[in-house]
């Protein structure tokens, strides 16, 4: 038997082994385990702010760690920094390329980043008298779908070239490239302890990576289409994913498997974005059908809906203090709800 044949057999055997190991610990399912938990109350949130300013589709938004400022990105070629309390625009950053797909706020509040079809991640300093471009991170061979700052010196990116990368902002070079996905990487989420991150891709897989050694530690199967959104659960032991297959799923990292699927027969639009309330109990998932549905993460039931946008909800975000949820849409508006 040739080596290739042998390897193929070994790979199949390992996949069967993993399946069996997951089954062996599957002594209950999440919904049964949560039967003793009181249902979450019906969630009815009101629009508190309607942020008008962008002139085209909004593709991304990210909260600052100060719970007040946020950055949004639109294909009108601008990043806007908003003061969510007053509703005022604090800054506008003109982009070299208007085909933006992601934006991020550094934890320090000093820097923001954007990227998209230009295949680059551009980092800007908000604290200089005039906003300056600090670095252009140029090495990906596909579009930039997501960027997140670890600090003022390190950025993580996810790309359509199927890789994720950790960059050194001082040198502008990639320190680590995370290779394993076989489809465009669409999203990433940093673990609360910042030692690992998860990525979702068009290969319908979610992967857990060790930031320092660059290895893929675990792979989560189950979705049947592109994973567009991903987020760590606040405790750090689980992740939630949102997909073009119209469902969201929770995977537990320590049980190494899917625990629950959030789906409804009436829902046949893809999930574009998601954010969790600060206890993790509520999942805010944005869909192509212009709504943001609210799910009880423990019981798997829909407990509310945020309606009001006139086009696809493309991004959602909850600030660290959990005081509100922001939705951004192709209708060019951002709404703040609580």
Partner 1 sequence: MSSNSNLTSMRRTVEQLKLEASVDRIKVSQAAADLQQYCLQNASKDALLVGVPAGSNPFREPRSCALL
Residues forming contacts to partner 1 in the complex (CB under 8 A) are 3-4, 7-8, 10-11, 14-15, 17-18, 21-22, 24-30, 33-34, 37, 40-41, 43, 45, 48-49, 68, 84-85, 180, 215-219, 233-235, 237-238, 252, 254-257, 259, 277-282, 297-298, 318, 321-325, 336, 338
Closest by CA position to 295, among listed 287, 303, 305: 303
Cα 316 from Cα 327, distance rounded (Å): 4
Name the residue nearer to partner 1 (CB basis): 152 or 256.
256
What is the smallest separation between the CB atom of 325 and partner 1, expressed in angstroms? Answer: 6
Whole-angstrom Cα Rg for the chain: 20
Residue among 56, 107, 108 at smallest CA distance from 80: 56
Minimum CB distance to partner 1 smaller for 129 or for 254 = 254
Return the number of the residue (115 or 308) whose C-beta is nearest partner 1: 308
257 versus 273: smaller Cβ distance to partner 1: 257
Nearer to partner 1 among residue 111 and residue 313 (C-beta) = 313
- Strand, coil or helix: what is 12? helix
Beta strands per DSSP E along 106-170: 111-116, 120-125, 132-138, 144-149, 154-159, 163-168
User: Residue 131, exposed/middle/buried by CB under 10 A (0-12, 13-18, 19+)?
Assistant: middle
Closer by beta carbon to partner 1, 94 or else 320? 320
Rounded least distance, CB 156 to partner 1, Å: 20
Q: How far is the CB of 321 from partner 1 (least distance, A)?
A: 8
User: Which residue shows structure tokens 């995370």?
Assistant: 178
- Best CA proximity match to 148, nearest among 124, 135, 166, 173: 166
CB of 253 to partner 1, least distance (A): 9
CB 196 within 8 A of CB 188: no
């Amino acid at each position: 038997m040739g080596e290739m044949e042998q390897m193929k057999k070994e790979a199949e055997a390992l996949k069967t082994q993993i399946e069996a190991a997951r089954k062996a610990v599957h002594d209950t399912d999440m919904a049964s385990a949560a039967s003793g938990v009181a249902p979450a109350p019906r969630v009815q949130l009101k629009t508190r702010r309607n942020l008008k300013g962008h002139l085209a589709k909004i593709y991304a938004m990210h909260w600052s760690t100060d719970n007040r400022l946020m950055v949004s990105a639109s294909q009108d070629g601008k990043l806007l920094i908003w003061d969510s309390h007053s509703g005022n625009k604090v800054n506008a950053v003109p982009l070299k390329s208007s085909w933006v797909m992601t934006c991020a706020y550094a934890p320090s509040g000093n820097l923001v980043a954007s990227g998209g079809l230009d295949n680059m991640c551009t980092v800007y300093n908000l604290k200089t008298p005039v906003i300056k471009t600090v670095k252009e991170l140029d090495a990906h061979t596909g579009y930039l779908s997501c960027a997140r700052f670890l600090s003022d010196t390190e950025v993580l990116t996810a790309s359509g070239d199927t890789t994720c990368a950790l960059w050194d902002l001082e040198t502008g070079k990639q320190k680590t490239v995370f290779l394993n996905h076989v489809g465009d990487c669409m999203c990433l989420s940093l673990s609360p302890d910042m030692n690992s991150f998860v990525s979702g891709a068009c290969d319908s897989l979610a992967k857990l990576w060790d930031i320092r050694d660059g290895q893929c530690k675990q792979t989560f199967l189950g979705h049947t289409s592109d994973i567009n959104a991903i987020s760590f659960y606040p405790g750090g032991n689980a992740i939630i994913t949102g997909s073009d297959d119209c469902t969201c799923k929770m995977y537990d990292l320590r049980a190494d498997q899917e625990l629950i699927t959030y789906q409804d027969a009436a829902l046949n639009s893809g999930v574009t974005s998601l954010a969790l309330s600060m206890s993790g109990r509520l999942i805010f998932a944005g869909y192509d059908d212009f709504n943001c549905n609210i799910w009880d993460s423990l019981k798997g039931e829909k407990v509310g809906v945020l309606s009001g946008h006139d086009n696809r909800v493309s991004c959602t975000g909850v600030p660290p203090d959990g005081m509100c949820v922001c939705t951004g849409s192709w209708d060019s508006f951002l709404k703040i709800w609580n």
